[in-house]
Amino acid sequence: MAKKMTDLIRGFFDPIEEDDDNTEFKLPLDDSGKLHRPMGTVRRVQHSFKTMKNRRNEAALPAVLPLDDESRALLEIAKAVRDKAYAKYSGFSVGAALVAESGQVYLGVNIENASYPAGICAERAAFCSAISAGEQHFSAIAICGGDDRVPCYPCGICRQVMAEFCTPSFPVILADGVYPLASLMPHAFSM
């Protein structure tokens, strides 16, 4: 039986220990509330994100689905990694947690630059990390920026990058729900 993402996230930052399901999950934060595990130390987790492989059903995709426990857990990782963003100019930090079909979770943060076009968004940073590791098939991404209660929609460039590697039903997890990529990018460019 596959474990839920919330159970797996519990072991994402710490070694796996046997515990009961009543243990409250807490991120490893220091006294100032920042994630204290290095960003690059992630490990493979099993997941059960719902994606539709059948493209014939694209027209029937709902605009947004409610968050479930698994989506909330991935969103918590995006929130935690957001603290590592380099947002010196805008002050708007964004974190992203991308799940590859292999089960590996890749993290990304926005990295700004005095030359604005030289910066990179958290979503693309996560995709760059994953693709550099040899991944090309993805199951879901969670994005968190600014106020935790307000959805941080990906920019157009990030949506186009997602469209390059993901199906129209690819789950984009935001603070207010799970969006299929097609609802965020209905007319993606393709060649």
- The CATH T-level fold of domain 5-184 is Cytidine Deaminase; domain 2 (3.40.140)
Q: What is the pLDDT of residues 9-36, one digit of tens each?
A: 555 555 445 445 555 556 666 777 666 5
Q: What is the pLDDT of residues 130-175, one digit of tens each?
A: 999 999 999 999 999 989 899 999 999 999 999 999 999 999 999 9
Amino acid (1-letter code) at residue 104: Q
| Over residues 68-80, mean pLDDT | 95
Could you give the residue numbers annotated as active site?
123
Instruction: Parse the chain into domains and list their residue ranges.
Output: 5-184
Per-residue tokens: 51: 């994606």
* Ranges of H-type helices in 11-56: none
